[in-house]
Chain A
Amino acid sequence: MKIKATFKACSMTVFGAVLALGALSQPAAAAEWPTKDVHLIVPYSAGGNTDVLARRVADLLQRELKANVVVENRPGAGSTVATARLARGGRDADHTILMASPGHVIGPAIYPNLGYDAVEDFRFIDKLVDMPNVMVVPASSPYNTVGEFINAASGANPMTFSHPGIGSSIHMSGELFRTFTKLPMVAVPYQGSGAALPALLGGDVDVSFENMSTVLPHIKSGGLRALAVTSPERSPFLPDVPTIRETSGYGLDGFVTGVWNGIIAHKSFPDEGVDVLREALKKVKETPEFRGFAKEMGAAEPSTASGDEFKAFIVSEIERWRKVAEDAGIRN
């Protein structure tokens, strides 16, 4: 009996010890994420802005995580093909992250039956950069301010704006401007910024809401004139150019838009991974390499939105673009 009791006590002790060890090892395991290569999905073709940013971030992240960060391009349907695949989860979902962009919040407004919920199916890890768009007119254009531009537009003189493709942030910025001002405006689609830019420089279209990094050289060389930036505050790259919401008297007070990039993951992504990644990305954003590159893209400072703030941003953006797309008649 005694032996039996001793054995029981021993086994209970061992069991307890194992449990305790298990409990203790929990945080230890957390520090171990990643346990294998991390896959960073780029939902666009190689070579674009998002791709180049992703490759630079992967490089810096690799140093922080001490693990490989493999970049994979899965282009298609304005980033929604890759996002749909991420939403499906799968074996590597705990080590797969995606470089999201405005396509993530504009997609639900443009494409029917995405097959995923752009909010509930994901975890929003960290927003990296915010870049304004710039409202630009050709140098030959008679308009010098947003007010002059709005006053000149009428039913007999509808304004045309170029954009590099349906659902791009440049297109939607134009549509947002139309929604705010109720101006007669015609969207003219081009295949990419490379084709859209000559049309603007050559004066074929009246205006565009192009990305800062694309038009900044042309503003400096005098080919284009910046009327306003779309960010909430003026950009340090164009300190003399007002923001659109500074234009008083036209109901543009709430006009803020732009381009952003952030890291998202599948909803099943582990908490440990989220913590490790946020910590690592915080360090990445402080590196001079990242800051330098963000500046080239038109972001004066890296974004600070993380976690709930990032998620709240996504939710409000989806709602906003859905309304804009409905107003513009581009919702399927």
Chain B
Amino acid sequence: MEHLSEVLELILAWENFLAIAAGVSLGVVVGAIPGLTATMAVALALPFTFSMDPVTAILLLVGIYKGGMYGGSITAILIRTPGTPASACTLLDGYPLAQKGEAKKALKMSLYASVIADFISNLSLIFFAGYLAKIALNFGAPEFFWLICFSLTIIVSLSGSSILKGLMAAGLGITFSLVGLDPVFGSERLTFGSYNLMDSISFIPLLIGLFAIPEIISFYRKKCSPHIKIKASGASVSWAEMKGSFKSIIRGSFIGVIIGAIPGTGATAAAFISYSDARRRSPNRENFGKGEVEGVAAAEAGNNGVAGATLIPLLSLGIPGDVVTAIILGAFMVHGLTPGPVMFQENLPLIYALFIGIMVSSIVLLVVGNAAIKYFSKIADIPNEFLFPIVLTFCVFGSYAVNNDIFDVWLMFGFGALGYVFARNSIATAPFLIGFILGPMFEDNLRRSLLIGANDISIFFRGPITWFFIALTIGSILLTFKSWMPGNKKRESGSLTDKRYLENRKELLSPADK
């Protein structure tokens, strides 16, 4: 601790705390706006950091990233429009809760789960960076392949009442994910000669279309009939609920940490894996997808657990795991610092100062998040006749903003129509989404493994990590079969179909709405 005074000198500057507060606040707002992602905000903030001290600069960027991770859940819960891809999973239970008049509960749980996961993620970064980085380096294409196989087994558990429909939806999601250029040969697939499709289908227009548009369509179709009004008042999270969800939050946080430490997986996958793990273990599993507060907790813990952990490969190996950390790497380089083992030897005080700042950012997230809930909840006070046109405007804006391309807006409406068809036919959207996200990862890692192993399939069984995930995959499939055996009463567990939402809604109409 001979560096203590140096560390304190580096961190105890008002600029640092201002940077954290400004970063987290900006992140939450940007994250909450559909189409504007944390990644975009970090990229746009980068030039402003060139003139700052390195610690201040990095903390500002990390703050934006963390704020953005959380912010996405606000609009997902309140208006069924995920602000960022990673919050799509939060929506599965967050929005039904909001429909029941328990938006406040969902928002608070999402915040608490986010903050706890963020905290655990930071601690993992500080104490286990070295170990996790080693695991990450041993995580090659075959290991990834089995991780994705395991994750794909989630589809069955998120399929709702009909496995067949779930698998169909997943197949459709995978089909859409194939659009673009073949990753190995570069030949066109399913682009129909369209230039815009060559770079594959953008995720954000797809998400916005799939979730927000069906709500808008159903609002206008039923304009004359009573329509449910979201209320942000209502009870907050009770101690019992917190206690009930606590294990899921902790498990979700560690799932996020592990996924975050492996370069190239991403928060969205972490959220879904954590969610499905929680659902599988929860005594309330039947309520998942219908407004289960534990579902919100697990999803948010999964995606926020990633935030601190993505810095593990960056700081300990100098490898950026995603676009955000690549930008943060750029910020380090601009200040003449090179993340990696050498930095731990040469700039130890700076790393400790960053660690302190990152821990502080978790606390700031709690404060800013609480304020954000208070103000964003006012969205719920807007009468539906005004709210839905505004949401529609944001849908169009958000889809356009991704690539500054009007094509994405049409894409968004297309997926909106598809989402509506799904809802009308009781088809769950979650398997579609998982197919779309994990499909390309499955293909990439399968083909990559075969290329590396010169078409020898023994590469898929090359070490303890592959065997670990093979065991998990088989276990997961067996568990699913067990619950589907005839006579098992838990069979009907947890429908996620949108028709159920609509049914719920009818039951839940409050007298005022009628």
A contact set with B: CB distance below 8 Å: 45-48, 51-52, 55-56, 59, 72-78, 81, 84, 110-113, 115, 158, 160, 166-167, 186-195, 197-199, 201-202, 204-205, 213, 217-218, 220-221, 223, 293, 296, 329-330, 332
Contact = CB atoms under 8 A, between A and B. Distances in A.
Nearest to A332: B187
A217 B263 contact: no
B463 to A, nearest CB: 11
Given A189-B444, A213-B333, A194 B263 contact: yes
Nearest to B337: A217
B448 A190 contact: yes
A46 B43 contact: yes
B342 A191 contact: no
B434 interface: no
A186 B187 CA distance: 17
A192 B334 contact: no
B264 A188 contact: no
A192 B185 contact: no
Interface stretch (B81-89, B136-144, B361-369, B506-514): B136-144
Contact of B319 (A47, A56, A77, A198): A198
A73 to B, nearest CB: 7
A330 B186 contact: yes
A201 B330 contact: no
Contact of A81 (B195, B334, B341): B195
B217 interface: no
Contacts of B452: 160, 188, 204-205
A195 B264 contact: yes
A299 B340 CA distance: 22
Contacts of A197: 263, 319
Nearest to A59: B47
A194 B327 contact: no
30 contacts: A46-B44, A47-B323, A48-B326, A52-B47, A56-B47, A74-B405, A76-B405, A77-B198, A110-B186, A113-B193, A158-B454, A160-B451, A160-B452, A166-B183, A186-B451, A186-B454, A189-B444, A190-B264, A191-B444, A193-B326, A194-B320, A194-B322, A197-B263, A197-B319, A199-B140, A201-B317, A204-B140, A204-B141, A296-B333, A330-B185
Interface in B269-298: none
Given A201-B317, A220-B342, A329 B448 contact: no
Nearest to B459: A204
A176 to B, nearest CB: 16
A45 B193 CA distance: 23
A188 B195 contact: no
Interface string B127-140: 00000000011111
Contact of B199 (A76, A202, A223): A76
Interface in B136-193: 136-141, 181, 183-188, 193
* Interface bracket on B: 35 or more
A218 B317 CA distance: 8
Contacts of B448: 188-190
A134 B333 CA distance: 19
Contacts of A110: 186
A312 to B, nearest CB: 27
Contact of B43 (A47, A198, A293): A47
Given A77-B199, A202-B139, A330-B185, 8 more contacts: A47-B330, A55-B47, A74-B403, A189-B183, A192-B323, A197-B319, A218-B318, A296-B333
Interface in B434-457: 444, 448, 451-452, 454
Contacts of A84: 195
A158 B40 CA distance: 40
Nearest to B39: A47
A81 B196 contact: yes
A210 to B, nearest CB: 12
Nearest to B332: A217
B399 to A, nearest CB: 14
B326 to A, nearest CB: 6
A115 B195 contact: yes
B195 A77 contact: yes
B40 to A, nearest CB: 6
Contacts of A59: 47
Interface in B179-233: 181, 183-188, 193, 195-196, 198-199
B404 A72 contact: yes
A45 B43 contact: yes
Contact of B141 (A194, A199, A218, A296): A199
Nearest to B264: A195
Contact of B185 (A55, A194, A329): A329
Contact of A167 (B42, B46, B186, B454): B186
A195 B333 contact: no
B325 A194 contact: yes
B458 to A, nearest CB: 15
A48 B181 CA distance: 21
Nearest to A216: B338
A174 to B, nearest CB: 13
Given A110-B186, A202-B138, A221 B342 contact: yes
B321 interface: yes
B313 interface: yes
A73 B404 contact: yes
Contacts of B193: 113
Contacts of B333: 213, 296
Contacts of A330: 185-186
A10 B44 CA distance: 60
Contacts of A76: 196, 198-199, 403, 405
A257 B333 CA distance: 24
Contacts of B39: 46-47
A191 B138 CA distance: 18
Contacts of A72: 404
A215 to B, nearest CB: 10
Contacts of B444: 189-191
Given A47-B330, A202-B137, A332-B187, A111 B319 contact: no
Nearest to B335: A296
B179 to A, nearest CB: 12
A165 B370 CA distance: 42
Contacts of A45: 43, 323
Contacts of B136: 198
A80 to B, nearest CB: 8
A91 B183 CA distance: 37
A31 B415 CA distance: 50
Nearest to B319: A197
Given A189-B183, A195-B263, A204-B141, A332 B188 contact: yes
A308 B262 CA distance: 47
Contact of A217 (B50, B323, B327, B340): B340
Nearest to B187: A332
B213 to A, nearest CB: 23
Contacts of A221: 318, 340-342
Contacts of A187: 184, 451
Contact of A192 (B44, B195, B264): B264
Contacts of B320: 193-194
A189 B193 CA distance: 23
A51 B326 CA distance: 12
Contact of A194 (B138, B186, B319, B340): B319
Given A59-B47, A77-B199, A194-B326, A202 B404 contact: no
